[in-house]
Chain A
């Protein structure tokens, strides 16, 4: 089998605070193929952003700490790379777009300068080439009058335009993996759709892999090939989009789907919400972290965390003791 683009093995990340050790990521493993779009879904605080930042070693240490695991990118472990080599990967082969475009651009420099910076760091272009390329990139992400707007400062851009500029910056070195960390959360709904479409188009044109982190299942449904559902620092279900939506096997995923409004339902149908709160990551329970909110609890759930097991014919993994019963109930 061909080497995957990215393979994460048993990644564990903790934060050491005054209130104790926060277990943010608790042994996450998965593969990401070239050109694949992977959606990572979960509530806030489920470790989805932290795990993505850890891939590029961008969490602040201290208080953060990557306790164990491997992040193999083209077979090289990013966690063990020399800093200089890692720097070449950052922005060059893996690029990132962040949640809040209002704060993610440096207010003291022009948008053009910030895009050109990535180009001069990785592509060794001279000023004029970098400027031409930046203008190209800006118009590619749909900013009109791009050449003139290079000299604008971020505060002169609207939120949606800033996120477009962030995407242009990320794409500047034609990365093979784009990590988008909730890139539409801070934007208006109409702008959200535009950004999703933009990334979809660019992903097709460039053939790059995309990791799209969100709490919104609706967004990844139209974008992703595969989905990882995360809860309390664990991947609790993973599979192809169809499997996740049609052959859901984890009660938490079921809950997420139930809380999604649908147009094809009869009017008056109530949305289902998941009762309770996510567990305290400082003091995780012994068993499954979802146990307090779950309607399918059995003895084993209180005893130990279920392993991820394959439940279908094509890479559909679930971490639940009762998946079979759920499958039966669904059928």
Chain B
């Protein structure tokens, strides 16, 4: 098992390298001079050269064949990409163009906010989506089944930014039950330690802060959880229906096992592989969706920062944020693969 995990980890290295190349190449997509594009037409000479320096824009993109001709092997690979890669390995994502602060530090500081929202939403999506899917499958073609299936289809078709806006309108503007945005009301006294507000406030018994941050997370979490919930419910249902046609389910029934155990023991364990895959995929989509949700709900996470930076043309931040989310996604896919080994005894990993 350990060997399998290590092998799998090694196998992700080419993917990660590919991801860094893609993220690096973003800059090449900018029409014209990237430095001017970032700083605007009226940039000072000093600023332009600073940015050029930061990105190594004076160097060739991948390899310097002129340096090689002179026998300068170090110069041969002292190029934009390898400079970028070298910095990445040191955890340096460059500096923000406008604010001149290191991107990595700010990303780390904002990371918990995004994760808190993502985990919370995924949790909601799973604890509702999976049971609903199971029940729908068990009562196939019942009214309950068709209702949830139509409901989930609408959920899948929902533009989440629109849903978010509608939720704000209903619950924050009209009913005024819940706050429209942010993570915490300014009136609440709270100094977070890890930046996971819900956990921090709970651990320090700061109940007002916990309640307040809980109220803040509800609306964005609903918006973000809608699609994964619907997808999970649908996947669970179809996977369960597939499995329930299998001969071994009939065997279990013929054995006199209770219908409950037939469902939860014999069918569910076999139905779980595709469900886990879809949950992993949905988590990635959720992180992508965070750009929209965080923007609408002014949630101070990575997504909103990336969005603000797109508008401000602060490209190192967009690169850093995208890279971070892609890396998390790669990691989740790895976890999904590894969890297969635990669930399916037929898969051998050695």
A92 with B256, Cβ < 8 A, contacts A103-B246, A103-B247 known = yes
CB pair A96 B254 closer than 8 Å: yes
Tell whether A81 is near chain B: CB-to-CB under 8 Å: no
Cα distance A201–B132 in the bound complex, in angstroms: 48
- What 0/1 readout, one digit per residue, does chain B (239-273) give for beta carbons within 8 Å of chain A? 00000011110111111111100000010011000
CB pair A88 B256 closer than 8 Å: yes
Tell whether A130 is near chain B: CB-to-CB under 8 Å: no
Contact partners of A103 in chain B: CB under 8 A: 246-248
Taking A98-B250, A104-B251 as known contacts, 10 extra A-B pairs with beta carbons closer than 8 A to each other, sorted by chain A number, are A62-B141, A90-B255, A91-B257, A98-B254, A103-B248, A104-B247, A108-B344, A114-B251, A153-B345, A166-B251
Contact partners of A92 in chain B: CB under 8 A: 256
Q: Which partner residue on chain A sits nearest B343 by CB separation?
A: A108
A107 with B255, Cβ < 8 A, contacts A153-B345, A153-B346 known = no
CB pair A90 B266 closer than 8 Å: no
B window 180-225: CB within 8 A of A: none
Q: Which of B141, B253, B259 has the most CB of A within 10 A?
A: B253
Tell whether A271 is near chain B: CB-to-CB under 8 Å: no
A174 → B minimal CB distance (Å): 13
CB pair B345 A87 closer than 8 Å: no
- What 0/1 readout, one digit per residue, does chain A (105-121) give for beta carbons within 8 Å of chain B? 11111000010011001
CB pair B250 A169 closer than 8 Å: no
Residue of A58, A95, A106 near B248 (CB, 8 A) is A106
- What 0/1 readout, one digit per residue, does chain A (247-275) give for beta carbons within 8 Å of chain B? 00000000000000000000000000000
Residue of B250, B256, B258, B345 near A108 (CB, 8 A) is B345
Contact partners of B255 in chain A: CB under 8 A: 90-91, 95, 117-118, 121, 169
A-side interface size class: 20 to 34
CB pair A91 B248 closer than 8 Å: no
Tell whether A89 is near chain B: CB-to-CB under 8 Å: yes
Cα distance A218–B62 in the bound complex, in angstroms: 76
B160 → A minimal CB distance (Å): 35
CB pair B269 A90 closer than 8 Å: no
CB pair A90 B345 closer than 8 Å: no
CB pair B251 A107 closer than 8 Å: no
Cα distance A317–B254 in the bound complex, in angstroms: 31
Residue of A87, A109, A114, A155 near B256 (CB, 8 A) is A87
Q: Which of B246, B251, B344 has the most CB of A within 10 A?
A: B251
Cα distance A62–B139 in the bound complex, in angstroms: 11
Tell whether A122 is near chain B: CB-to-CB under 8 Å: yes
- What 0/1 readout, one digit per residue, does chain A (60-81) give for beta carbons within 8 Å of chain B? 1010000000000000000000
Cα distance A83–B346 in the bound complex, in angstroms: 34
A98 with B251, Cβ < 8 A, contacts A118-B256, A121-B257 known = yes
Tell whether A229 is near chain B: CB-to-CB under 8 Å: no
Q: Which partner residue on chain A sits nearest B345 by CB separation?
A: A153
22 contacts between A and B (CB under 8 A): A58-B253, A58-B254, A87-B256, A87-B257, A89-B256, A95-B255, A98-B247, A100-B247, A103-B247, A103-B248, A106-B248, A107-B270, A107-B344, A108-B270, A108-B343, A108-B344, A108-B345, A109-B266, A117-B252, A117-B255, A169-B251, A169-B255
A121 with B256, Cβ < 8 A, contacts A108-B344, A155-B346 known = yes
Contact partners of A169 in chain B: CB under 8 A: 251, 255
CB pair B251 A106 closer than 8 Å: yes
Contact partners of B346 in chain A: CB under 8 A: 107, 153, 155
Cα distance A104–B248 in the bound complex, in angstroms: 4
Tell whether A13 is near chain B: CB-to-CB under 8 Å: no
Q: Which of B256, B257, B269, B346 has the most CB of A within 10 A?
A: B256
Cα distance A238–B54 in the bound complex, in angstroms: 92
Contact partners of A318 in chain B: CB under 8 A: none
Tell whether A56 is near chain B: CB-to-CB under 8 Å: yes
CB pair B270 A58 closer than 8 Å: no
Q: Which partner residue on chain A sits nearest B249 by CB separation?
A: A106
Q: Which partner residue on chain A sits nearest B140 by CB separation?
A: A62
Q: Which of B252, B255, B259, B346 has the most CB of A within 10 A?
A: B255
Cα distance A104–B253 in the bound complex, in angstroms: 11
Q: Which partner residue on chain B sits nearest A100 by CB separation?
A: B247
Contact partners of B250 in chain A: CB under 8 A: 58, 98, 104
A280 → B minimal CB distance (Å): 24
B25 → A minimal CB distance (Å): 44
> What 3 pairs between A and B have smallest CB-CB spacing?
A91-B256, A90-B256, A91-B255
Cα distance A122–B254 in the bound complex, in angstroms: 12
